[in-house]
Structure 1
Amino acid sequence: MSSSCDPQYAPIGDVSTALMLIDSRLQSVYEGKTATDPEQRRMVDQFAASLGAAGLDDLLEGTCTLIYMYMNWLRQACASQDEDVVGYSVPALVATMRMMPRTFKPEVVPMMAGLLIAAGTGLSPNLWRAQYGPWTKDEMNPLEATAVLLAEHINRIAGDDHSFATRLISDALGRLDEEEV
């Protein structure tokens, strides 16, 4: 039986731009820069302003698609080890969120955990979230940070390969492009 949150009904969004922003944030973390690096924040804010409302919606959908793709990869990796992706990944990610109270206010942690669980069980995080009303401004930084934490989690699983999660998505996008030609 199909769910209204089935990924086949979800817009994909601007995955390439979302990936670029998440990778940029990840690289800053690996270089030891803080999440509040003023130069990077200024550039991200300027870029976001240039997108307009429709572009920001596409970026938001693209970020949710990344979360879905990352959780799908984790689900497959966990299945090969007879592990449950939700039990393996979500508690560690939520614990990390709780250690970052400036990025993850306590009231957004359940929503971000829900996004991860939705994606981990094969549902579209964006469509799952839509059931609870429109996205709020207070959820934007936590959404980005959730995608970064998830990518970093995958990079650690891949033997501390700092670009594995980015290559994972880039390769998938490349295969899609080849299929379309």
Structure 2
Amino acid sequence: MKKRMILLSALLIGLALPANRGSAETTEATTNTQTNSETITTTTQSTLKTLVVNDGIVVSGRTLVPLRAISEGLGLDVKWNQKLKQVTIIDGNNIFIFTANSKKVNMNGRTMTIDVPVKIYNGTTYVPLVVAAPQDAKLTWDNKTKIATVTYEGIQVIVNTGR
């Protein structure tokens, strides 16, 4: 009876955990290099941490993503200023400031204009995918599935817009 209770408790705790927390998978890449007389094959294994975000949206033809989920998923620091309605993202020495309902983004003291303003929907701040990801991140968009992917420093964030 005691074993059943422990097993049932563990099962309930497992079911209570969020399903889209993330996972790690090992990927393998093979590279062939041709020299004068031989082909050298190099196989590299790396672990890619994956996080799935299911609440991306499309507005005016632009993919908007939840800024906190993307930033924290990529390991960046996020701060919210309720009074100013601003999100500050800190990536090492880089500081980015996004203000709700504004097309202006402050990047390390320089102002950049984006084509779709920062939006707040249901308490979540959304920004265009291209400004949510670090500059050296790899971005992909699958128009058929409406899924955006951000890959940065061994982390992959999959954003499902489902629309």
User: TM-score over 0.5 for the alignment?
Assistant: no
Structure with max Cα Rg: 2
After TM superposition, the score normalised by the length of structure 2 is: 0.28
Q: Which has the higher strand share?
A: 2
